[in-house]
Amino acid sequence: MKKKRKHEKRKHVKLKNVRQKPQQPEVKKPEENQKMSEVVCQKRQCEEVRAGFFSRIDYCGHGYRRRLMERGFKLAEAEQTHFNVLVGGLVHNAGLKERIEEEIAKEKGKPKDERASREEVKNRVLGEVAAELAEQIPVVKATGTEKKIRLYVMTSLAYDGAYGAEIAEKLALLRPDVRHWAKWSEHLPLKPPPNEKFKEIACLVPTKQTFRSKYDSTAVDRAVEDYLNLANKPYAPVVVVGCYDVSFYKPAGGESSLHIIALPGLSRTEENRASENQIGITVLRLTKDGNLFVRCHNLNYLVVHERESINISPKYSASAQQILEQFKYHSWRTVGLLNENLRVTRDELKKNLDKIVKQTRLHPPLRYDSSSHRYYISRQWIQQNLTYPYPWPNQSFIDERFISFGCLHALCCHTAHEFMLNDLHQFMLEYKVRHLVGAGDFIEGSKHGHKELIFGADYVAQERFAAWLTATPMLKAFKTRFVETLSGADQKLFTNETAVLDFVKAAYSDFWYIPGNHDEWTEAVSVAALTTFRYELLMLLRTGITNILRNAGCVIPMLLEEFIENNTVKMVPLDAAMHPAGVTVSLNHLHMARAQTKTLRSQALLGATSADVNIHANFHTALAMARFDPEMGQRVIQQIGTLKLRSGFEDRKGKRVDFGVGYLRLGLQQRGDKKSILMHEFAFFGDPSKYSSLDNEAFIEDFKKGMEEIVAKKETKKLEKK
């Protein structure tokens, strides 16, 4: 060793004595330096950031499912996420403690001199669990490369327990793609950020047990309040909360200064500690134009029907296979229940069951519990071997997209009318939206007084103006699509009414709507809500589309008017109607005030309707969430904000509003006679800083000046004639 050190020292000295010519720095002109910096900036520009989020795999718990976890990670890989985060629930606290106690009990049966201490057993189990997780957690790779996508792991004291952090540390040492985050609130910087609004994401896990709650937002709000109360650093614009197994999105705006996203779990729900309901993964897409898309792949249906994927070995006899088929639909069976279902004698069943129990090497292995006289498939086999067949990405979803607006309040001085005229159709075209929804309160009305009404307009003028605001973006979007449709069509078809109507159908967006409480104020004088609105809207759409067809040289189909009317649907509260998208839809406008519990109104509506998709407004606040029902399947609900920037009514109550429209994308799969929601994506569009309220007095003064100019021009023309 000494000789080696001398050699190294000598070599080092020799290198020191070598004289090297100093390199002359290349002098660049200022223009070249500027060009170089611009290139670097362009390379660092980020079109969007895609981040995958998981929670509650609950290893060691009864709900852990290895193949379910693998399915979730494969979905993240297919979504091409840039990084992934496991936000709490790496291990199941009670299950881990149970495993440690079992190992300690085994040690007690050994001789004293061979017996390991409690601490040694605990450390051994924690090491084994970390090694098992390192093997079972999939490695996500960038598309078409061997580059490993980083996985950040957080643990929760309330759900992972005291040993969770230690296991995560050991896991990070075993897996180079894993990073352990030790705090309950961690900030993940986005470098480079896609937009100045999105510089980092905060991830939160609960530190203490929560009380059982009826509403999904209750426990999540407590975690966010704890984060806000810390006040020890600037808040992140996006906050992701794990461990509660719910799925909702509260956008930043007037009511909340932060985007709040609650995550579903990635294990079977075996206990209800808060309001657990959702199983799946969440992918956030943060874009360069400042929009946030929250996409969720729902796996509840697969977990509910997980036993149907049990693969019975062909080496079993025909009678044994017939018996094991029953365990695809039941977690346990007795001889009596099997006798009723299979119509086989009890003696023959008992003989076959005992034979199956002895065939431990075949799958699935069957076990017998002598205390309850039940036969069952072992939980360990279920956890490791069940599969979860999800169609995407191998098979495309049936893709349906909605944009919904509510509380338009036409001719109110605080309404951003320009949004409807200039922006809405652009969102419809950019995101390929074919379904437009109006969730009530199209007019301002006069029950709250005339102070905020432009010119103090009456109900007829308000409804006509609201119809024009609604028809304009529909016609603009239609015209663009219609021109694109005709560009590749045979001109001989332009005179064929059936073909032209098909062109119209390909370019048209249907419109479903419901009156709001402001719209229904006309019923006090025996005028049905939105009567003038509907008449005016149909007339504007018919006239506008007819003109577009004529200008394109197309014949006007006889059935055009009927088609437009059939696709302009007025809904009734709480009704669930089959939508052209292939799912049932319910539109509502509740006559009540907002609540402090964010999801209270939305969850109440889910309990009152039977629709797959629920859209409602009136509270001037925005929210989106999902709930799963074993019979109805996955259901989504979106609460739409308003197109008013503010209102005197809310200002006096100390309330702020969420401005904009709601975007909903559904990934559907045909199952029997209905379509089921497997994927849903929420977003909210609208920047209130681009608009401003009108001052009625200033507006009247401008109108006066305009009138003076008109009068002056008339006088000039009279003088010229003389």
Tell me the torsion sign for CA atoms 604, 607, 608, 610: positive
Q: What is the C-alpha radius of gyration for the chain, rounded to an integer number of angstroms?
A: 32
Residue with the two structure tokens 């509506």: 605
Which amino acid is located at 430 in the chain?
Answer: E
Domain coordinates of the chain in residue numbers? 48-300, 311-385, 398-691, 692-722
> φ and ψ at 500, to 5 degrees?
-65, -40
Extract the tokens encoding 200. 């980092």
What is d(CA 105, CA 103) in angstroms, rounded to the nearest whole number?
Answer: 5
CATH T-level fold of 398-691:
Purple Acid Phosphatase; chain A, domain 2 (3.60.21)
What is d(CA 80, CA 78) in angstroms, rounded to the nearest whole number?
Answer: 5
Per-block average pLDDT, block size 10, for the chain (722 residues)? 42 38 41 34 62 96 95 96 96 95 89 88 95 96 91 96 96 96 93 90 92 89 91 88 95 92 95 87 95 96 92 92 93 91 89 92 92 93 92 93 96 93 96 96 86 86 95 96 91 92 95 95 92 96 96 94 96 93 94 89 92 95 95 95 89 90 96 90 94 75 74 79 70
Q: Cα 546 from chain centroid?
A: 39
Confirm whether 48-300 and 398-691 share one CATH topology: yes
CATH of domain 48-300: 3.60.21.10
Which amino acid is located at 683 in the chain?
Answer: A
The SS3 call for residue 141 is strand
| Beta-carbon count within 10 A of 601 CB | 23
C-alpha closest to that of 217 among 637, 592, 620: 637
DSSP code of 454?
A: G
C-alpha closest to that of 636 among 600, 674, 664, 668: 664
> φ and ψ at 403, to 5 degrees?
-125, 130
Contact 637, 615 (CB under 8 A): yes
Extract the tokens encoding 386. 């069940």
Residue with the two structure tokens 């990670």: 73
Contact 375, 350 (CB under 8 A): no
The helix (H) or strand (E) run that includes residue 366 is strand 366-369
Extract the tokens encoding 402. 């909605």
What is the CATH architecture of 311-385? Orthogonal Bundle (1.10)
User: Given this model, what pLDDT does residue 233 score?
Assistant: 78
**One-character DSSP codes across 586-623:** EEEE-SS---SSTTHHHHHHHHH---SEEEEESSS--E
How do residues 642-676 score in pLDDT, each as one tens digit?
999 988 888 888 889 999 999 999 999 998 888 99
What is d(CA 183, CA 179) in angstroms, rounded to the nearest whole number?
Answer: 13
What torsion do the CA atoms of 600, 604, 607, 608 make, to the nearest 10 degrees? Answer: -170
**One-character DSSP codes across 642-681:** BSBS--HHHHTTT----BSEEEEEEEEEEETTEEEEEEEE
How do residues 685-719 score in pLDDT, each as one tens digit?
999 989 888 876 776 677 677 777 877 887 787 77
Contacts of 626 (CB under 8 A, 6+ apart): 247, 248, 278, 296, 298, 634, 635, 636, 637, 677, 680
Extract the tokens encoding 69. 């976890």
What is d(CA 154, CA 92) in angstroms, rounded to the nearest whole number?
Answer: 13
CA dist 395 → 392, 667, 668 (Å): 5, 11, 11
Which amino acid is located at 36 in the chain?
Answer: M
The SS3 call for residue 488 is coil
DSSP code of 126?
A: H
What is d(CA 3, CA 348) in angstroms, rounded to the nearest whole number?
Answer: 83
What is d(CA 431, CA 365) in angstroms, rounded to the nearest whole number?
Answer: 50
CA dist 411 → 188, 464, 521, 578 (Å): 44, 10, 16, 33
Residues paired with residue 535 on neighbouring β-strands, in sequence order: none
